Amino acid sequence: MQTCIAFIVFESLAMMAYFTSRWISPSSGPKASAYMMGLGYMSCMGLCVQSYRICKVGGHEHIETMPLWILTAHLKKNKVIEWLYLPSVTFPKLAILLVYTRVFTQNSRFLRYLAYGTGTSMVLLLTFGVWAPYMICQPFAYNWDKTIEGGECGDILMAYRWISFPNILTDLVLMSMCLPAVWTMRLKPALRISLLITFAIG
């Protein structure tokens, strides 16, 4: 629970700093980035709240000893987390991509097309990630009630893999867009290394 609270505090402080910087310098980036960051922040807060609720009620118990009503509630919360996960990572990445497109692709048609392709793949992956949790088990209540006759689920682990692998690839693409440009800048070695580390960790 302390971890959930810590993330709520740190992410809220980061968002305050972000919007304060935009208020001080209104032209410091595309306006769409602010909307993307806001949507990402709300999704992250939803993840933290749901995780806190899971830990608060029965989070310290084993499944074998957990009352059925608590287990059912946890499975429902997990379904909400499935819906919130991709928006919480995709919207901030789209915000970063918008900034990178403005800064690093002006003199490179290849990087510009790479940015467009990456953004499109992120949106498609987000669409799949929102749609899949609803369709993976039918009827929908079968996600938490396996006693429903005729209910069935698809390959949940395979769906997770198809969501996770492209998500990692887009992370690598974002890194590849900025690191070469930073490396070729005329900077002091210490500053160049610090910038490379900053961009590498997102």
Q: Please write the tens of the pLDDT for every residue from 49-62.
A: 998 888 877 666 67
User: Between the CA of residue 135 and those of 74, 87, 128, what are the distances in Å?
Assistant: 19, 18, 10
**Total domains, the chain:** 1
Please determine, for residue 39, whether its predicted confidence score (pLDDT) is greater than 90. Answer: yes
Range of the domain at 83: 2-200
Packing angle of the helix pair 109-135, 68-104 (nearest 10 deg): 170
Please determine, for residue 117, whether its predicted confidence score (pLDDT) is greater than 90. Answer: yes
Question: What is the Cα–Cα distance from 202 to 117, expressed in whole angstroms?
Answer: 19
Question: What is the Cα–Cα distance from 166 to 127, expressed in whole angstroms?
Answer: 13
Cβ density class 54-63: b for 16+ within 10 Å, e for less = beeebeeeee
Instruction: Tell me, yes or no, if the pTM score tops 0.95.
Output: no
pLDDT in tens, 134-172: 888 889 889 888 888 888 988 888 888 888 888 889 988
